[in-house]
Structure 1
Amino acid sequence: MGRRTQAERDAITVETGYALVSGFLVAGLTFLAIAAPMMVIPMHAAERGLLIGATVAALVVFVLRVVTVLWRFPGHGQPIKPGQPSQPGRTSPDS
């Protein structure tokens, strides 16, 4: 495998940033969805269990989101292929 171009490195950086930010957002929404009833209804006996469950669910969702976003990224291990044909008027670079 050869060296990556600046465009490929930039694409990897943007995709990693997107994966982390969207993972944090989804994890935060998951945590709030599970822990929100505590703010509305007093649940003294179940608060600790609800917080632990919300935290675990948020961590799992975060990891799953980051892994799926990065796994779908073209080029995890292989060079990124250009989207345009190399010659105008051709349908693919091989034709």
Structure 2
Amino acid sequence: MGRRTQAERDAITVEIGFAVVTGFLVGGLTFLAIAGPMMVFPLSSGAERRLVLAGAVAGLAVFVLRVVHVLWRFPGGPGNTRQPSQPGRTNPDS
């Protein structure tokens, strides 16, 4: 891979920031959805601990999946190999 332009580096930085911020939001909402009932309903301390642990594990998993999903779909990422536009190649713009 050749050198990246400043615009490409900026685009990657913005995309990473977007992936992390939306990952935190979706992971946090997942945690709250699972662990939230302990704030509303009276539960034993063991049940509360299990809900918090399940919420943390699920929130972390959703965070990681969101970040990977966003970055994988970014143009030029691992899932999107660029094909040069050359005559005779199977590329829509050739």
Residue 3 of structure 1: SS of its match in structure 2? coil
**Alpha-carbon separation, structure 1, partners of 2:25 and 2:6:** 28
Question: CA offset at residue 22 of structure 1?
Answer: 0.2
Q: Mean Cα displacement is larger for which, 17-26 or 36-45?
A: 36-45
Q: Which structure 2 residue ranges, 5 or more long, are not aligned?
A: 85-92
Q: Which letter maps to 2:34? A: I
Match of 1:85 in 2: none
Gaps of 5+ in 1: 82-91
The 5-angstrom pairing of residues 37-76 of structure 1 reads: 37-44=37-44, 45-76=46-77
- TM-score, length-normalised on structure 2? 0.81
Separation in 1, partners of 2:77, 2:27: 24
Runs of 4+ with deviation above 3 angstroms = none
Query: 2:21 matched to 1:21?
Result: yes
Q: How many corresponding residue pairs? A: 83
- Of structures 1 and 2, the one with the larger relative CO (CA 8 A, separation 6+) is 1
How many Å separate the matches in 1 of 2:32 and 2:55?
8
In 2, distance between residues paired with 1:65 and 1:29? 13
Q: Structure 1 length as normaliser, TM-score? A: 0.80
Task: Name 2:6's counterpart in structure 1.
Answer: 6
User: Aligned partners of 1:61, 1:2: CA distance in 2, in Å?
Assistant: 33
Code of the residue aligned with 2:26 in structure 1: it is V
Q: Which residue of 2 aligns with 1:89?
A: none
CA deviation map 1:27-68 (0-9, x unaligned): 000000111110000111411111110000000000000000
Match of 2:30 in 1: 30
CA RMSD of aligned residues (A): 1.9
